[in-house]
Amino acid sequence: MTETETAAVGIAVDDGIAVITIDNPPVNAISQAVRQGLIDAMAEIATNDAVEAAVIIGAGRMFMAGADVREFGKPPLPPTLPETISAIEASEKPVVVAIHGVALGGGLEIALGCHYRLVAPGAKLGLPEVSLGIIPGAGGTQRLPRLIGFEAALDLITTGRQAGAEEAAQSGLADAIIEGDLKQGALDFAKRRIGEPPRRLSAIEAPKPESPDFFAEAKAAVARRARGQESPVKAVEALEAAILPFAEGVKREREIFVELRGSDQAKALRHAFFAERAVAKVPGLDDAKPRDVAAVGVIGGGTMGAGISVAALRAGYSVTLIEADVGALARGRENISKNLDGYVSRGRMTEDAKADLLGKLAASVDYGALADADLVIEAVFEDMDVKKEVFAKLDAAARPGAVLATNTSYLDINEIAAATKRPSDVLGLHFFAPAHIMRLLEIVRTGTTAPDVIATGFAVGRKLGKVSVLAGVCDGFIGNRILAHFRKQADYMVEDGAMPWDIDAAMEAFGLPMGPFKVMDLSGLDISYAMRRRLAPTRPAEERYVAIADRVCEAGWLGRKTGRGWYVYEDGTATPNPDAEKIVIEESKRKGITRRDFSPEEIQTRILYAMINEGARIVEEGIALRPLDVDMVEIMGYGFPRWRGGPMCAADIIGLERVLADIRAFASEDAYYWEAAPLLERLVAEGKSFSDLNGG
């Protein structure tokens, strides 16, 4: 056996088979060292007469996560990935790839350059480049359709989804699934291929599209789904180039890849990728050890409590549900069961698995049932007195050291914590409805929450599959506080001349899945009405107040549940409510406002800037640790388009100087509302951007 090593790629020759091992922890990203190592390995294989075939395999927990995302945005270092893959594919000796864990992006493109692909049973294969604002740039859009046809390739490339081993084997993406020892299986497979001519995907004739209009139709469908994101649409263009001879197709693919790599959208999506991982890294929490959590108590079986219970059950916790009376308890159980039915009907859970989960659910009207809980999450009615009463009872029932959490969306958690004799054990775990589906979790620390309690919040969030973001206490924490400003801006524009459906259309064009007025109709106008009532006593007298929504609500139009709100809902369609329009016009008149037109761009700008300005205040006050935490809350919880990177990243892309100049111009009309956040002023004065505050 001979062995040579580069930093990240090792070769060992064993009985005529070269085993090339990629070893670049933690995810075998294809750094410059990996590319060079592979080229060197292929050169050695070509010249070493003792080698008759090769196996490429990954060390550690996966094959390869793809190109090193950290190298993007920096000058490219040779050799390129396409050159590396060409060197592999050109080998005269058969090259077999053995995939475990994931083969993503450039990792799968390397696999497509090999002559045979073997997968371990749990392997996942995908080309997720579009989610980073780019397309596969190393032949993926050209080799994949040659292997599995255009339709299947289009699905994988434009969605970025991962195919499991079974699917890969069925589609022809993988030649075989290797049960047992992957390396041994690959060695045996390679031995059987010795002497066979190499199977090169680039040499296969271009496939035919499934129908004459295939690409035009695909482009239209993908564009609709992408809501402003360019990369999936460009991916269709690259795929279309696969009908050309291979050399021309890869040239076109590369052009598109290079164009997108430098785009604002790619920058924003890279930011989102790293921010999603950075939110869990809380400075100062390194030494805090999370408390052990196995048993979770949930107080309240309404929409939120039931969603939280399902999330906890699915994550493997046992759950004890507490309700005020037997009837409410039965309804809570029913809500949980219905949520689980949703998974069953979509084929994502078997009836047996559902029954198993329900077996881990206990329910009681007695707080004594919480005596063994390690974590209790309160999800009762949003009222301070009710919550304090619950926490006083919880304080008496829970064991010492249990973590006590409230799912409040707005209330002062310091005050809730003070209702117990153990405020350091209290924190906020703010879930988003539906709690078993939405990925955001705001972890809210009070002035007294112990570090290990915060660390427990993050550990539980991770187990629940959530993206957890730390927030401080204020009205609405990060997300709902920004939402309040978003809505205020929308209301101001409606009173000044726009119609609710204009705002919705403009914000949907901005990339939101649903405009704010449609969202209000969905959640019920009475919800925000109650909130405005609650805030009324503390609202500054000089603050502009728009009463349109109050009047629509007082007319009994509560949205979808009454068939009428901002829109009229009939036969499954929503049309603008003419009576709401009348109220809008009357209210403008009552205030002496001359209504004017708002272009979609102006609507988008005013709403975005209101979010940026408030986001800057939230960072400055320390409610959010960094701008990236604000971005993640908005992307994960409020449908802010990921391809814009979140409001703070969007501000950096626009340029803070311009944002500040525009805000100052708005302030000349409405000084009360549009006062620029001091942090924004300071960053502009120092020539910095929000990203400078994100650290590493």
Binding site for ligand 3H9 (CB under 6 A): 26-27, 29, 65-70, 81, 102, 104-106, 109, 128-129, 132, 136-138, 140, 277
Nearer to ligand 3H9, 112 or 404 (CB): 112
DSSP 129: G
The residue (of 162 and 528) whose beta carbon lies closer to ligand 3H9 is 162
> Beta strand pairing status for 375-378 and 295-299?
parallel
For the bound state, the minimum distance from the C-beta of residue 329 to ligand 3H9, rounded and expressed in Å, comes to 37
Question: Whose Cβ is closer to ligand 3H9: residue 35's or residue 115's?
Answer: 35
Least Cβ distance, residue 138 to ligand 3H9 (angstroms): 4
CB of 615 to ligand 3H9, least distance (A): 23
Identify which of residues 67 and 163 has a Cβ nearer to ligand 3H9 in the complex.
67
If one counts every other C-beta atom within 10 angstroms of the C-beta of residue 373, the result is 26
- Cα(596)–Cα(608) distance, integer angstroms: 20
Closest-approach residue to ligand 3H9 (CB): 105
Q: How far is the CB of 211 from ligand 3H9 (least distance, A)?
A: 27
Residue of 458, 427, 453, 454 lying closest to 441 (CA atoms): 458
Identity of the residue, 256 or 299, whose beta carbon is nearer to ligand 3H9 in the bound complex: 256
The minimum distance between CB 153 and ligand 3H9, in angstroms, equals 14
Beta-ladder partners of 568: 564, 575
Task: Tell me how long the chain is.
Answer: 696
Task: Evaluate whether 381 touches 414 at the Cβ level (below 8 Å).
Answer: no
- Report CA 503 to chain centroid distance, whole Å: 25
Token digits for 34?
């990996």
Work out how close the CB of 149 gets to ligand 3H9 at its nearest, in angstroms, rounded to a whole number: 20
Helix count and strand count (H, E) for the chain: 28, 20
- Please state the closest distance from residue 156 (CB atom) to ligand 3H9, in A: 13
CA atoms of 498 and 491, how far apart (whole Å): 9
For residue 330, what are the CA distances in angstroms to 321, 326, 437?
10, 6, 22
The residues annotated with a catalytic role in the active site are 109, 129
Cα–Cα distances (Å) from 250 to 72, 82, 241, 326, 422, in that order, read 20, 9, 8, 66, 63
What is the spatial distance between Cα 470 and Cα 625, in angstroms, rounded to a whole number? 7
CB atoms within 10 A of CB 526: 14
Contact 305, 275 (CB under 8 A): no
Residue 217 CB, nearest distance to ligand 3H9 (Å)? Answer: 25
Nearest to 298 by CA among 355, 340, 361: 361
Burial 46-77 (b: 16+ CB within 10 A, else e): eeeeebbbbbbbbeeebbbbbbbbeebeeeee
Nearer to ligand 3H9, 102 or 178 (CB): 102
Of residues 69 and 654, the one with the C-beta less far from ligand 3H9? 69
Whether omega before 434 lies within 30 degrees of 0, making that bond cis, reads: yes
Give 469 or 610: the residue with its C-beta nearer to ligand 3H9. Answer: 469
